[in-house]
């Protein structure tokens, strides 16, 4: 197997220029998680700058910050002792790493183009059957966890993913029905109050606020559903894989339920903006003069600045909850199957369409669409309910 077969081994590492300051090298080494960076002059590799050399500079300078800003890369770089070829087999590269006591090496293509850096630890891991794991995406279904790297997938299949869309849309419809029922009760018991409210131009429009109440009720229903435990188990297994931990119940149980790549974060960005727009549009007369529009724009700015934090809070308090041992064990089994498939076919490729399909979002949307079609053509009274709420 060659480096070309395992492209994930080649880490992106932009080369430094000889006249770059050492401070820039420090920044790039830290953000890329590398111990050395190549130096290129006019497109040709001329040396390597090692973290150890910058450490020596900082330790020996009376003012490390000033030294890092003034010293140039050309003053610290070393000659390149090892260059790996894109079509070179892993075992021969490992022998060269051992022979020359190198920790990393630049990788070049057959035409001489620089491609990135390969690390000794990544190479050794691949040789012993532990290739790098691409970013993992996952979804919770009513029947368990679905995990994928885009190229490989494991866990529940397409039908279960579609059922996730069905369940979420059903929860939406249930929330609509409850809000509609409350509105009908209010119309019956408080007609005078409602008439005054709907007739006042200064009052907030009911349609927008009913949409907000519906969304809040949907979140409550979601929190009460078993999906939240499965969702948490999915996150915890992904965390364990990404941190290189053993997939045991004890280790996975210690992982956090909140994950930075969760779709809840996107919901935290789009849903509050959508609800704010709903309130604004349903109060067109009250918004005259621009005061409501200004308030909405202010809300949008606040959401844009805080949506990640809001997404984490939504994950913690709404879309996940502590999973049962059974949910964790089922998710762990899915994680083990995914890892086995990645290790069995580490260089496997997938088309863009296949990668999108493997994420499961298409199947979830199809589930949404199925329920919507059934409601529209099989239960038109629900459409009337939604129209009245709007």
The string of pLDDT tens digits covering residues 93-147 is 999 999 988 889 999 998 888 999 999 988 888 888 787 788 899 999 999 999 9
Give the lowest-confidence range in 17-21, 169-173, 250-254: 169-173
Least confident of 239-248, 251-260, 261-270: 261-270
Q: What is the pLDDT of residues 295-335, one digit of tens each?
A: 667 777 777 777 788 888 889 999 999 999 999 999 999 99
Q: 2-11, 181-190, 228-237, 339-348: lowest mean pLDDT where?
A: 181-190
Q: In whole angstroms, what is the distance from residue 93 CA to residue 89 CA?
A: 7
Structure tokens at 324: 């049962």
Mean pLDDT of the chain: 84
Q: What are phi and psi of 144, to 5 degrees?
A: 135, -165
Region 357-366: what's the mean pLDDT?
94
CATH 1.20.210.10 fits 3-127, yes or no: no
Looking at the predicted structure, is the pLDDT value of residue 204 above 50? no
Is residue 125 packed enough to be buried (19+ CB in 10 Å), middle (13-18) or exposed (0-12)?
middle
Quick check: 142 and 74 in contact, CB under 8 A?
Answer: no
CA distance 141 to 318: 16
DSSP 8-state symbol, 316 = I
Task: Reduce the DSSP state of residue 117 to 3 states and report it.
Answer: strand
Alpha carbon distances (Å) from 154 to 149, 302, 332: 9, 38, 11
For 58, 119, 218, 270, 331, the CA distances from 233, given in Å and listed in that order, are: 44, 32, 21, 25, 6
Of 345 and 99, the structure prediction assigns the larger pLDDT to: 99
The whole-number pLDDT of residue 347 equals 67
Strand 104-108 relative to strand 84-85: parallel, antiparallel, unpaired?
parallel
Q: What is the per-residue pLDDT for 202?
A: 39
CA distances from 387 to 117, 157, 176, 275 (A): 58, 35, 10, 16
Token couple for 255: 């992982």
Domain ranges (residues) in the chain? 3-127, 137-389
**Which tokens in the block code for residue 294?**
């200004």
Full-model pTM: 0.74
Alpha-carbon dihedral 253, 259, 263, 264, rounded to 10 degrees: 80
Tokens of 179: 């809000």
Q: Give the chain's end-to-end CA distance (angstroms, integer).
A: 60
pLDDT at 200: 44
Tell me what the mean pLDDT of segment 2-26 comes to.
88
Element (H, E) at 139: strand 137-141
| Weakest-pLDDT range from 11-15, 36-40, 145-149, 271-275 | 271-275
Angle value at C-alpha 33, between 8 and 111, nearest 5 degrees: 45
Asked whether 196 and 256 are in contact (CB, 8 A), the reply is no
HSE (side-chain half, CA atoms, 13 Å) at 376: 7
């Amino acid at each position: 197997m060659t480096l070309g077969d395992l492209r994930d081994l080649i880490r992106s590492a932009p080369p430094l220029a000889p006249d770059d300051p050492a401070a820039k090298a420090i920044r790039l080494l830290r953000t890329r998680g590398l111990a050395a960076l190549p130096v290129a002059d006019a497109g040709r590799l001329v040396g390597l700058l090692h973290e150890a050399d910058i450490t020596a500079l900082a330790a020996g300078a009376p003012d490390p910050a000033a030294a890092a800003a003034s010293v140039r890369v050309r003053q610290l770089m070393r000659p390149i002792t090892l260059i790996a070829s894109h079509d070179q087999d892993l075992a021969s590269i490992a022998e060269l790493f051992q022979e020359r006591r190198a920790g990393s090496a630049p990788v070049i293509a057959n035409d001489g183009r620089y491609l990135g850096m390969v690390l000794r630890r990544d190479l050794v891991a691949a040789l012993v059957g532990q290739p790098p794991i691409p970013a993992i995406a996952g979804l919770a279904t009513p029947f368990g966890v679905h995990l994928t790297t885009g190229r490989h997938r494991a866990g529940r299949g397409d039908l279960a993913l579609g059922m996730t869309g069905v369940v979420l849309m059903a929860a939406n419809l249930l929330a609509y029905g409850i809000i509609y029922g409350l509105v009908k009760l209010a119309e019956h018991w408080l007609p005078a109050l409602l008439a005054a409210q709907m007739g006042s131009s200064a009052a907030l429009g009911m349609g927008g606020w009913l949409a907000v109440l519906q969304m809040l009720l949907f979140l409550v229903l979601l929190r009460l559903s078993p999906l939240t435990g499965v969702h948490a188990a999915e996150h915890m297994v992904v965390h364990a894989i990404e941190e290189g931990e053993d997939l045991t119940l004890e280790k996975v149980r210690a992982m956090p339920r909140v994950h930075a790549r969760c779709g809840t974060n996107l919901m935290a960005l789009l849903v509050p903006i959508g609800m704010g727009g709903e309130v604004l549009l349903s109060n067109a007369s009250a918004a005259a003069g621009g005061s409501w529009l200004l308030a909405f724009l202010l809300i949008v700015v606040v959401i844009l600045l805080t949506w990640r934090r809001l997404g984490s809070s939504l994950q913690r308090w709404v879309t996940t909850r502590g999973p049962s041992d059974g949910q964790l064990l089922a998710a762990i089994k899915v994680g083990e199957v995914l890892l086995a498939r990645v290790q069995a076919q580490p260089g496997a490729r997938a088309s863009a369409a296949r990668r999108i399909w493997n994420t499961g979002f298409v199947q979830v949307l199809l589930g949404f669409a199925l329920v919507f079609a059934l409601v529209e053509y099989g239960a038109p009274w629900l459409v009337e309910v939604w129209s009245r709420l709007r």
